Structure 1
Amino acid sequence: VTASLSNDLSGATEIKNHILDLNHTYHFERIVIGMEATSLYSFHPAMFFHEDRQLKELHVEIMVEQPNKIKKYRDAFEENKNDTID
């Protein structure tokens, strides 16, 4: 799902509700919210997800990773990558 959301309580609540809706449909065994560490821009949403009662009941994990780690992971899956390029 691709969406543009505000970085505030409203946006975090939208994400939470989407997670709850998806879980209601698919009954996930494990839910992990992955976020890029961006100082205060990631701190408040991460704390919201961590402290939310409904997400706690589902044992949702919150992962905040450094941008360079995320880029390296993404680069490992580039579609134009092949043995010749390597």
Structure 2
Amino acid sequence: MATCLYGARVLTPTSVLEQGTVVVGNDGRIAYVGAQDSAPRVDGLHLDLRGRILAPGFIDIHQQGGNRISFTLAPDRLGEAQEVL
């Protein structure tokens, strides 16, 4: 079932929508992010999220390396990294 999440403060990679709308399609994928007056019509669940914040999922990709060694090296290069450390 499609879902319309409206009225929330929506954080995107490039902006903050103070009264934003997010539409999730029947397949569970985000189909629309933007202003409520431009949102597609949704025959499904409508959730009023006024006073709440919608933000993308956060993934911590930060890592610390030593002596410019990348810890994402291929397995055949890991021995070299371990020798340096």
Class of the TM-score when normalised by the shorter of the 2 chains: under 0.3
- Give the TM-score of the pair, scaled to structure 2: 0.22
- Give the TM-score of the pair, scaled to structure 1: 0.22
Indicate the structure (1 or 2) with the bigger Cα radius of gyration: 2
Whichever structure has more helix as a proportion of its residues is: 1
